[in-house]
Structure 1
Amino acid sequence: MDGTAVALNLWAVCAILLVAVVTFYIGYRSSRMASTTRDFLVARRTVRSRRNAAAVSGEYLSAASFLGVAGLVLKDGVDALWYPIGFTAGYLALMLFVAAPLRRSGAYTLPDFVEARLGSSGLRKLATAVVILIGVLYLLPQLQSAGLLIARIMPVPSWVGMVLVVVVVVVNVFGGGMRAITVVQAFQYWLKLFAIAAPTFILCALFIGHGGAGARSETTRLSAQMPPTFTEDTTVHVETPVTLQIKSDVALKADGSVGGAPAHGEVIWKTAGSQVTVDAGTTLTFPKNAVVPVVVGAPAENSLWMKPNPNGSSDLFSTYSLIFATFLGTMGLPHVLVRFYTNPDGKAARRTTLHVMLLLALFYIFPILLGALSRIYVPELLVTGKTDAAVLALPQKIVPGVAGEILGAVTSAGAFAAFLSTSSGLVVSVSGVLSTDVLPGRVRDFRWAALLAGTVPLALAIVLRPNDVSLTIGVTFALAASTFCPVLVLGIWWRKLTWVGAGAGMIVGGGLVLSAIVLDVVSRYTGDWAPGFVRQPALITVPVAFLVVLLVSKATHRRQPADTGQTLLRMHAPDPLGFIRDRDVARFGTAEERARLADGRHRR
């Protein structure tokens, strides 16, 4: 059997086309009510908490959630559980410290909040650059995962899937902005939940009942101490160079380059504990019951796979760094925060966050279960390291035939919805910043910005080498935690913050993370020599950013804005007191709305 062969899956193609058509239709229906800049930026701040929670969840559950979490569970085991925990728990910090005051600030973008709180147009420009950077970095794995999905169900290049996602997203954003995307994302959350929950229930029932396609032997169970084994003859095509760990003698057939030498025919890997390099373009054929070699760095034996931190202090540092990034990075993600600007008031923003945590916790149960099943049924993905494909490959391995294709089509539809919803939120957030801070801020400026926000990341995604989705997202969380998180938390709760301190913290924290990203990219192309903290830098960069903001603000206390007291009162006063003053009304509202704002009679 070919573990990576690409065959046309008509069921999956039809499911993806159906998702695209329904997304177009919902976006079109909603866009007919969008006519003003405020509609495109913040949906007139009329989105209620339950719908907004579904929209936030739909936007937040990206490729890293739908594909990446299961893939990391397959590869890393227990250590990978910190990703869904961190992705969900980040909203607890957001609810406690940021959600309600941020909405009461009256801002309509993150750069607008920075200027409203600290009164610096220069800092607003810096925040604009960081928003664009985070948006582009977050969009890249969405597009690359879409390419992986389309290339897996159709014999086409991966860039076709990237282009399809960008076209659907840009058209919807172009037509209705935030107002249209809110309804689309709420629908896509429930679609994604069904698309991952229904196959999980069916696959788990088959596994518990009789092991799916043939009963599992004792050696293939996760409770076995030995490495996973191939359940049938399996052919794997290596697309990018990999270094494999050899845990026992393996006799296989190879066609390509193994260990730096040409290999055509039977090959025997004998030395247990050694490493073998397999070049790109090589095809490996493993016999049934052969031990699965895994990429270097992943736990080979199931006994290690089920234990945390098998490599000691290095992995412990990475774990704590991941916790820092996911817990604090959520409150610095522009495409997440922009959704809270659409709530009517601060109370609704806090209630939205609570609902989001419930919806996310429900969703993340299922990719964890699929990742564990993948360790048994699709171990060939451990050879190439392309474990992000586990959710897509698993159904047809447990349920061969048409039934498996239908289940695979359902998961493919959910994955495509994940790409669309997250990409939509990112394009909206970047477009809003571009249109209001770079362009004059009219509706047509927003539309041009949406086109730019979609095409530039598309070009980069096609050119750059794809990595594990959740690992890439983790670095983006680290960047958000090291830039916007200190400014938001201290800006809301510390009156002595100055624009100089905020700017210094963003530059230092962001600069450290970007330096780590550059070093990691160079390392991946030149032999993976970078230490572990380069791939997970948040444990260093976040405290440094907070410290820089505090020290520089103390040293420049004379730069504290004169209206700090009024701004903090507006953010912390209870909603019924009516202190909220929406800055988008002052800039983009009608003459009647601006007059009502000037009179102090603001519609919450």
Structure 2
Amino acid sequence: MADSLSVIAVALVCVTTLVVGGLGLRLSRRTSDFYVAGRTVSPRLNASAISGEYLSAASFLGVAGLIYDQGVDLLWLPVGYTLGYLVLLVMVAAPMRRSGAYTLPDFAEARLGSMLVRRLAAVLVVAIGWMYLVPQFQGASLALQLVTGAPQWVGSLIVAVVVAGAVGAGGMRSITFVQAMQYWIKLTCLAVPAFVLIALWIRSGAGAPDVSDAWSLPFVPRSGDDHPIYRTSSMMLALCFGTMGLPHVLVRYYTNPDGVAARRTTVSVVALLGIFYLLPPVYAVLGRLHLPSLPAGVRSDTIVLQLPGRVVEGIGGDVLTAMLAGGAFAALLSTASGLAMAVTGVLHQEFLRPRLSRLTGGDAFGFGGFRLAAVAAVVVPFVIARFVEKIGIATTVGFAFSLAAATFAPLMILGVWWRGLSRAGAVAGLVVGALASTSAGLVTYAAGALGGWPGALLANPAAWCAPLAFATTVIVSLATPASIPRDTPRLMVRLHTPERVHLARSRLSD
């Protein structure tokens, strides 16, 4: 019975995603419709869509699993996820919208006038997008296998097919409606079982879970984790600065009508994320109460899906498990859709479209090429996910945040606020940040969890990779003033002048 209900819940989420995504096929006709939804998305709708795509498998399954496994130190994780939007609000939200770019590589070229910087930015968008897509496929495999017993590849394949169909149907217009809907689906599916489990816990009078000091007290060293303060600080830095460098987050700000709408969107996002992140710690604590230990080989990522069946017997537990399975798939589909959209836009604009234009001898947008890019955007991470299943969902996402913090965060913050940024400095910062954070991730994956400072530094590289990238960018820029673009002052005025001032000027000139 539980399997049947879970299959029905997952099927409903997938069918609804395809139906809503298909509506975009009727609305998307122009290039801007596919890339940025015509820049007409309201702050409320955009906030729901951003929250929908940001709350991924790491949020729905991974956060609860990490808190269950490591304790109160990981309570900072949901705080960091939300705090990243405050940094984005203050630093780059409105200027990025005023840049008029379609993608992050567009902004890089407009700011620095360099095709090399644009190409590097394009490669990094694709790399970060694929790195973030991998745990979405892992989460799909994990969720479907746990609740239905299906082979691991089935869940990944379902997500890949649905996402490619939704993105290819209508681009950003389709994905905006899909993600906004899925935020409310996943919030409902996570909140209702949580309230039921809390009510049952209060009614039973079971009291608090019996846990060790290492779980219940902050910054208590545990096996293989003898530098908890550094690890927590590095993770917070990665989340705060990595958020603004995530391509699927940034591309949504290009859909707002203006910079004021971009700021209002961000304020609403902080509120929506804050509501959602109240729930994963509830599952972690109740998991410690009802499942004090997990069998060998069972990952803590599964605690959310296992808990209802252990607490509620019969049809009630089956219904709650089915709700969580549907919510988990909504989380997977919404984040995967946003990531696939960001990667698709860059793949098409930077790699496919120029080649198709040369082959056809024209400048047509080529919706067929866009849909081909959508397929490529999901196939590659789908294949990669089959080979890196031993890494936890939240761990993989953490490395994506670290890479974004060490590459795009310096480029965007300095590009928006510092006139002295040079082309050479931007290239050096991107290369150094990418090499440092990628090397740390690869060594951690190959060698496994290491102890002492080497393990802490490699598993949590943002605290040294991001400052290294910032310093490299600044030092090289100061040493190469000749490569500062000549039109930098004009562009800086454009980034920081409110739209109402431009409107008033145009009225006076008329």
Name the TM-score class by shorter chain. over 0.9
1:520 is aligned to: 444
SS at match of 1:561: coil
SS at match of 1:577: helix
**Would you say 1:11 and 2:36 are equivalent positions?**
no
Retained in 2: the 8 A contact 1:36–1:443? Answer: no
**Aligned counterparts of 1:124 and 1:96: Cα–Cα separation in 2:** 25
Measure how far apart 1:462 and its partner are. Answer: 1.3
What fraction of aligned residue pairs are identical, expressed as a percent? 46
**Aligned counterparts of 1:514 and 1:385: Cα–Cα separation in 2:** 28
**Aligned counterparts of 1:565 and 1:528: Cα–Cα separation in 2:** 47
The one-character-per-residue Cα deviations of 1:223-278 (angstroms, maximum 9, x if unpaired) are x4xxxxxxxxxxxxxxxxxxxxxxxxxxxxxxxxxxxxxxxxxxxxxxxxxxxxxx
Retained in 2: the 8 A contact 1:78–1:306? Answer: yes
Give 1 or 2: higher helix fraction.
2
The one-character-per-residue Cα deviations of 1:162-205 (angstroms, maximum 9, x if unpaired) are 00001000001111110100000000000011001111111000
2:307 to 373, 384, 394: 394
**Aligned counterparts of 1:303 and 1:201: Cα–Cα separation in 2:** 27
TM-score under structure 2 length normalisation: 0.93
**Aligned counterparts of 1:573 and 1:46: Cα–Cα separation in 2:** 20
1:189 to 183, 202, 218: 183
1:123 is aligned to: 117
1:93 to 83, 87, 94: 87
Alignment of 1:117-516 (within 5 A): 117-210=111-204, 216=206, 221-222=208-209, 224=210, 301-311=211-221, 314-381=227-294, 383-384=296-297, 386-440=299-353, 442-516=366-440
TM-score under structure 1 length normalisation: 0.79
The one-character-per-residue Cα deviations of 1:98-124 (angstroms, maximum 9, x if unpaired) are 000000011110000000000001110
1:34 is aligned to: 28
Retained in 2: the 8 A contact 1:37–1:442? Answer: no
1:536 is aligned to: 460
**Aligned counterparts of 1:487 and 1:385: Cα–Cα separation in 2:** 40
Measure how far apart 1:31 and its partner are. Answer: 2.2
Unaligned runs of 5+ in 1: 1-6, 225-300, 581-599
The one-character-per-residue Cα deviations of 1:281-303 (angstroms, maximum 9, x if unpaired) are xxxxxxxxxxxxxxxxxxxx522
Specify the code of the residue in structure 1 equivalent to 2:459: R
Retained in 2: the 8 A contact 1:435–1:442? Answer: no
Give me the CA root mean square deviation.
1.9
Retained in 2: the 8 A contact 1:519–1:530? Answer: no
The one-character-per-residue Cα deviations of 1:497-555 (angstroms, maximum 9, x if unpaired) are 01110110010011000000110011129999961211100000010000000000000
Question: CA 1:382 to 1:305, structure 2 compared with 1: closer, same or farther past 3 Å?
Answer: farther
**Aligned counterparts of 2:69 and 2:449: Cα–Cα separation in 1:** 21
Retained in 2: the 8 A contact 1:435–1:445? Answer: yes
Retained in 2: the 8 A contact 1:573–1:579? Answer: no
SS at match of 1:463: coil
2:18 is aligned to: 24
Give 1 or 2: higher strand fraction.
1
Retained in 2: the 8 A contact 1:193–1:363? Answer: yes
Measure how far apart 1:383 and its partner are. Answer: 4.2
SS at match of 2:277: helix
**Aligned counterparts of 2:227 and 2:451: Cα–Cα separation in 1:** 19
Name the stretch that deviates more: 85-94 or 25-34.
Answer: 25-34
**Aligned counterparts of 2:118 and 2:158: Cα–Cα separation in 1:** 33
Unaligned runs of 5+ in 2: 354-364
SS at match of 2:149: coil
Question: CA 1:83 to 1:527, structure 2 compared with 1: closer, same or farther past 3 Å?
Answer: closer
**Aligned counterparts of 2:336 and 2:384: Cα–Cα separation in 1:** 15
SS at match of 1:578: helix
Paired residue total = 492
1:277 is aligned to: none
2:362 is aligned to: none
The one-character-per-residue Cα deviations of 1:370-426 (angstroms, maximum 9, x if unpaired) are 111001112343743500001100011110111000001011110000000000000
Question: CA 1:529 to 1:459, structure 2 compared with 1: closer, same or farther past 3 Å?
Answer: farther
Alignment of 1:531-570 (within 5 A): 531-570=455-494
**Aligned counterparts of 1:442 and 1:496: Cα–Cα separation in 2:** 38
2:358 is aligned to: none
Specify the code of the residue in structure 1 equivalent to 2:351: V
Retained in 1: the 8 A contact 2:256–2:262? Answer: yes
Retained in 2: the 8 A contact 1:141–1:466? Answer: no
Question: CA 1:319 to 1:382, structure 2 compared with 1: closer, same or farther past 3 Å?
Answer: farther
Specify the code of the residue in structure 1 equivalent to 2:220: P
Retained in 1: the 8 A contact 2:416–2:492? Answer: yes
**Would you say 1:572 and 2:482 are equivalent positions?**
no
SS at match of 1:467: coil
Measure how far apart 1:475 and its partner are. Answer: 1.1
**Aligned counterparts of 1:322 and 1:464: Cα–Cα separation in 2:** 21
**Aligned counterparts of 2:468 and 2:75: Cα–Cα separation in 1:** 27
**Aligned counterparts of 2:123 and 2:383: Cα–Cα separation in 1:** 19
Measure how far apart 1:73 and its partner are. Answer: 1.1
The one-character-per-residue Cα deviations of 1:311-359 (angstroms, maximum 9, x if unpaired) are 1861111111101100110000000000000000000001100000000
Specify the code of the residue in structure 2 equivalent to 1:539: A
The one-character-per-residue Cα deviations of 1:28-63 (angstroms, maximum 9, x if unpaired) are 123211122211100010001000000000000000
**Aligned counterparts of 2:256 and 2:62: Cα–Cα separation in 1:** 30
Retained in 2: the 8 A contact 1:93–1:328? Answer: yes
Retained in 2: the 8 A contact 1:520–1:530? Answer: no
